[in-house]
Structure 1
Amino acid sequence: MPDLAKHHHKQLQALERLAHRMDRAFRIPLIGVRIGWDSIAGLVPGVGDTIALIPAGYILYSGYRMGASAPILARMAANIGVDALIGSIPLAGDLFDVAWKANTRNTDLLRRHFEERAASDEPLPKRLGRKRFSSLTAPRELRLAPTYVGAHHPGALHRRKPHKQASWQHPLNRTLDS
């Protein structure tokens, strides 16, 4: 993926470390399931789930301060809400906390959001060099180029019927004779 801004990268790493401690810090032997301090605190009725909301709220607030969009923040808040609501159910909620891992989900949302934002700011040649594309996903300028059509289907330029016009307008405003 594209390079993130240095300050976003460091902040995301710190948030991912916090999420790791809260969701996946310990491995249960023989079962292989990973639990964190969120699941352990949830075993204490009432107080544990409330205490576990503090780091989740910090991750949400950090996303806001970093400039995450409103839909991303809403999804993060929904993850925390589901975790708090179902996690408050005795025993079943604790098992749900082990599987849901809201903090990890939220840091993954943040990372993807900032990587996509960084990718949209890259110049076109750099984006094209990084990912594969087809005629459906290629940029409009590239799809209109006759070399792309010919490169995609060998011999396609020879099999195509000539245009009825005397010249064809190239996307870069160059005139080509048919």
Structure 2
Amino acid sequence: MASILGKMITRRFFKGSVNKVFGSEDPYFEEIAEEELGRKKKGSKRRRPPPPGLSQNDTKVLSEVRRRAYHLDMSLGFCCCGIGIGWSAVISIIPGIGAVIAAYLSYCVVQAANKIDGGLPNWLYTKMMTNVIIDFSLGLVPLVGDVVDILYKANSRNSLLLENYLRERGKNNISNGNFPL
């Protein structure tokens, strides 16, 4: 009973706040709209399609960043509160060095994102590195830092920041008549 109550409270509090800021928590999957469900049950998910108007390189980079973010933040399923956990949370459990390894893996996600055509703009790179630094700093606190690492999901935030930036770039490419190859 307490587990169900905890799950309801956690979902309402944390998912609502993440959805307000980023639109979706999961960088890799999206929920299928009710009109498209057909025979599938409500809540079914599918991979997010890439935004239209992007070059092949940008699409490839976005796919790689999404995949890495998903593995680090959500791939291992859900904990008792209904929040997804990934390898970053497991690695962070190791005292001392775990936070450093998790921060390095998050840095690798940012470096992968920097491979888009023309590289990341400075403002976006700064936002992404700030997420990594916040996640690392909070992860240094014993025990509480592990919980905060599970909730903060810096990699998913960075993936969604990149996707929003590339979505705008794609819209500009389409409106200007620049269709990348």
Bin for the TM-score computed over the shorter chain: 0.5 to 0.7
- 1:117 has 2:177 as partner: no
* Structure 2 CA distance for aligned equivalents of residues 93 and 15 of structure 1: 24
Offset, 1:3: 2.7
- 1:43 has 2:93 as partner: yes
Normalising by structure 2, report the TM-score.
0.64
Q: Show structure 2 runs of 5+ residues with no match.
A: 1-50
Of 96, 109, 122, the residue aligned with 2:148 is: 96
Cα deviation 1:10-66 (Å, max 9, x = unaligned): 121111111111000122365322101111111111111111122211111122232
Matched residue type, 2:58: H
Larger radius of gyration: 1
Asked if the contact 1:27/1:35 (under 8 Å) is kept, the reply is yes
Matched-pair identity in %: 28
Against the structure 1 CA distance between its residues 116 and 73, is the aligned structure 2 distance closer, same or farther, given a 3 Å change threshold?
A: same
* Structure 2 CA distance for aligned equivalents of residues 75 and 35 of structure 1: 23
Matched residue type, 1:77: M
* Structure 2 CA distance for aligned equivalents of residues 78 and 84 of structure 1: 10
Against the structure 1 CA distance between its residues 56 and 29, is the aligned structure 2 distance closer, same or farther, given a 3 Å change threshold?
A: closer
* Structure 1 CA distance for aligned equivalents of residues 153 and 64 of structure 2: 17
Asked if the contact 1:68/1:113 (under 8 Å) is kept, the reply is no
Matches within 5 A, 1:1-150: 1-28=51-78, 30-66=80-116, 67-123=119-175
- CA RMSD in angstroms, aligned pairs only: 1.7
SS in 1 for 2:157: helix
* Structure 2 CA distance for aligned equivalents of residues 30 and 58 of structure 1: 29
Offset, 1:117: 1.3
Aligned residues: 125
**Structure with higher RCO (Cα < 8 A, 6+ apart):** 2
Q: Show structure 1 runs of 5+ residues with no match.
A: 126-178
